[in-house]
Structure 1
Amino acid sequence: MSPPTVLLITAETAAGKRLQAALEQAAIDATVETTEPECVDTTLLRTAVDCLVVPVTCEGMAGGHLAEAATGLYPTLPVIMYGSEADRGEHIQAIADDDLGSPELAAAVGEALENSETMAARPASRPETILATMFERNSEHLYVKDTDRQYLLLNDSSYAPPELLGRRDEDGLPAGATYLDAARGDDLQVINDETDILDIHEFSPSMGKHLRTSKVPWYDETDELAGLIGITQDITDQKERERLLRQQNERLRKVALLAAHELRNELQVSTGHLSQIEADDEHIGAVEESIDRLSSIVDKVVSLASSDSPEFEPEQQWLSTVAWDVWSSLSLEAASLEVTSDRRVLADPESMRLFLEILLSNAVEHGGPDVAIRVGATSSGFFVADDGPGVDVSPPERVFEAGYASEKQNSGFGLYIANRIAKEHGWSLSVDDSEAGGARFTVTDVERPD
């Protein structure tokens, strides 16, 4: 029978030899293995471990957090923390000595080995090696959290640092408060309601990343809820391609609407002049029929250019995610955006982005380069408000008419399209004065995900 294994978390291979010598000096039959702190989770999956020895700090990572991650995976694994500032916690024995050759530390390891009955001590199973390989080699952000939302397994991705092991997102993830609040809400929904959250689109302004996240409940060997399993993918490049395609489609849509608008005006003039001709001539009848056909074509162009596909599949998404997504594509320096409150929205992703892009662009066009814009949730929907000059037209709803433009350089179809998108989703879009004296667009009757 092979001797038990003691796993030492250290960045120095020589440290393992010092602990091995101390155990031999104390006549304790055990083999010391070492692992770097960022690899402790996958090492536990691959290696049979009877006792874990953790320093107070190692390579900038707190030993207490590493111990919490380890015991989250294997609750009965004996853990000994050594160091002058070691503090006792659940499943953790503290030795207030920085010396790996300390007789006190060796004695504590020996005692832990005598009483150790942990699943971590059995040889790694084939599924565990598969899981370890996924976390070691996958470039996507894979993770497992306990019911306290602390990371137990975490791969080294560009999105989340390994220092998060044993900690929560808000303890070290380099993301803004809005993103962290949304992530926390998703975690709690999965844990408290035991429901899946799939393909949630997120945007973190501080990281400059567009992300797609899925999270599902994790049940342990007794079928009890133990936490959640998640994957977060960096889809920034994909979102940039989609943004460019949306801009191209929007330009084509506005060109079509503008052309149709001008043609309709000319056709109305032609019809007016034609009605003044009293002669009864077959050529006049042919001209009238031609004008009617052209009017029908213009109406069809307007209908096709101003409506999205009615076959869209609504998806749940965070208001803040879409707002920051659109804002990041506008490349504004002096203007500012504040998301005052957040909520989930059921909407077609592309239509929702186009909708907010029109409202935010409209605020910048009319409010000036240093306009301050606020986006927030309401009990029945959300709003977009600015501190610009406001809406100087009566009634205000005229801004939603096709072709209405307060400035000559505008096509006059942006807000018309936004209103069409709102109607297709069953929303109501209205405009009024904001608290700052600018314009406030309010969306109501917005469906909230279950």
Structure 2
Amino acid sequence: MPDFELLLDRSSELFTIFETGGTIRYQNAAINRHCGYAQDDLIDTSLLESIHPADRSKLEGLLECPEQATLDKPIEYRVRHADGSWVWFETRAPPRPEPDTGGYVLVSTPIDDRRNLEQRLEQYTVILDSLDDAVYAIDSDDTIVYVNDAYGSLKRIDRDELIGTDIYEWGKPTALETIDSARDALESGRQDVGVAEFQFSTTDGETVPVELRFSIVTASQTELEQVGVVRDITERKAREQALERKNDRLEAFASIVSHDLRNPLNIAAGHLELARDDTDGGRDHFDEVAAAHDRMESLIETLLALAREGESVTDPRPVELAAVVDRSWRGVETTGATLERDTDRVVLADGSRLQQLLENLIRNAIEHAGPDVTVTVEDCPDGFAIADDGPGIPEAEREQVFDFGYSSEPDGTGFGLNIVREIAMAHDWSISVTESNDGGARFEVTDVTFEA
């Protein structure tokens, strides 16, 4: 028996022999190592007295009727330490009879370290789940072993359904190439953290612009290979695009002021000099000055329009599209041109800026299709269209017509259609160009909201 007791005393597990009812008859030296008691301190006391009150119900059945006790699952419970703190134990088997004493043996494993780890993991999980950014962890096979709630929301699927799947299952080739390039830079030491921007694929087939930051896990005791944070940068991209458009408008300002506006000023100055020297022909020179001033006025209006664009429409009002079309037609020199209007829709818009959009499209049709052009304004499924019967726009140039400075006319500013696009974007509308039924140009404004 002494050799057996020596073996028990070296065990990390707590061996307790108790009588029916729970009175302690023996405990090995583990009670000292784990709970700070001398080996005999708890002899002849009730085992339940040293158990945390919240855990006593878990053990009462085992202690009262140990011969009939069964365990469907391990029992975790706390034992009071000599210093008043609590120590976690786990028992996985019901008490076994001990023939020499007539009592029963309860074997308990200390799990304080595990419980503390679980609590820390739970705290970390709460922290990760509170983040707005998506967090993931994968193993060496790119299999997902953890994602937080934000990742599931970004992927548009329940997070539990992602565990065990390949993280790149829905990735598009361009996105995977970007991530591979970032990983190569990380592994080569060129970067401390992998960084990549790409279009993140959702389970419903859409994409979201994101920034990924990830690290390679080097700890040998974990199955993890990589952990990363994915941030939705939709708003940032929108701000960048808005800033880019603003910079483009500043460049347009500089171009108009330094070149386009200077030319008519030089013309006007030259003709004024000639008018001073040529009394008889002065009237013709003054006509040229007047034309130059008209050109400057037009350019100034363009400058003002450029200054306004980029500002979102925050308070759209119901506007009768037909009425705005008529006002726009009267606001443009349309002698010889024909208007065909087929719409009775009421759109939610900034009426003044909508008129400016239509005037620019009507003016564009007359300038490119000739003074006798027929301009048609009509409904399309989720918006309206402006079409003409002119020569149209070559398909290869249709993507460029909205760019700053693009013009097929030698004396054109190239800002009219860009202003049209800016006005559409300010309303959250889309605009595209295609071919009309008559072979001319057809501009379709879509994603328009109508009054119910």
TM-score grouping bracket, smaller chain normalisation: 0.3 to 0.5
Q: TM-score, normalised by structure 2?
A: 0.33
Please identify the structure whose Cα radius of gyration is greater: 2
Flag the structure with more relative contact order, 1 or 2, with Cα contacts below 8 A and sequence separation at least 6.
1
Q: TM-score, normalised by structure 1?
A: 0.33
